Amino acid sequence: MSRFTDSKVVITGGAGAIGVQTARSFLKEGAQVALVDMSADDLADAAKQLEDAGTVATFTADVTKEADVEAYMRDAADKLGGIDIFINNAGIEGKVAPIMEQAVENFDNVMAVNARGVFLGLKHAMRQMKDKGGAIVNMSSVAGLQGSPGLVPYITSKHAVIGLTKTAALEGAKFGIRVNSVHPAPVDSRMMRSIESGVDPDNADEVQKQYAATIPLGRYAETEDVAHMILFLASKEASYVTGAQYLVDGGMLAG
């Protein structure tokens, strides 16, 4: 099945684990894909990982800077021949610390990437899509739907993504632009290794076991689990879905 033949897809955080897996899934279904990330080296490595699935365009940009965002959107649209689907995926975890010990600089840095970056992505993707419509998927987290000690910058930023998603969905509807958010449980990736080590540097493996034990299905999400949901929301199968929050959490928030 090729749901995305000739669809033009842009993915931020494209060199990360979820970005690469999502790109692979889109490529396998016939899409043309552009990856956006801060590091040219990481993007080159991502493109190499994807060689068996297809060729991707790559763009180096800082998602917190409007000039960069405007430029990569324009250049990706020129390279691909438009933008049909935008995956607003770039994000960082920040440092783990209680609120009373959190540095303002860490809070601001996480909010800049995870909230301001999503806003700027929406702003310029919607400008590219307004004449023919499209689908946008914003990456949030179960952290956008609950609290968690030690992660207030991340938690706050992922809650913000929900408000951005709902507002963008309302504003985008008249242009045929659908906007939804995805909320994974912990994903087996570099980000979770960082959080586990931040919680307890001497016992990160035990932290992982404790986190996994809170998930009814008994394991972290795989990147494929998240990519499957992203592709569904970007597809015509979800043509009547907008402004919604979709869990990929193994039942974590069911209780």
Q: Are 158 and 116 in contact (CB under 8 A)?
A: no
**Could you tell me the maximum CA-CA distance found in the chain, to the nearest angstrom?**
53
Give the strands of the sheet with 32-37, arranged side by side.
56-60, 32-37, 8-12, 85-88, 134-139, 177-184, 245-248
* Strands of 83-146, DSSP E: 85-88, 134-139
Query: Is residue 220 annotated as a catalytic residue, yes or no?
Result: no
Rounded-to-integer distance, Cα 46 and Cα 51, Å: 9
> DSSP character for 187?
B
Q: Which positions ≥6 away from 108 have C-beta within 8 Å?
A: none
Annotated catalytic residue within 72, 154, 220, 246:
154
Q: What angle do CA 174, 176, 179 make, to 5 degrees?
A: 100
| Count of Cβ atoms closer than 10 Å to residue 240 Cβ | 6
The residues with which 246 forms a beta bridge, in sequence order, are 182
**What φ, ψ does residue 220 adopt, rounded to 5°?**
-70, 160
Chain centroid to Cα 133, Å, comes to 20
219 phi and psi angles, rounded to 5 deg? -155, 160
State how far Cα 64 lies from the chain centre.
14
Residues acting as catalytic residues? 154
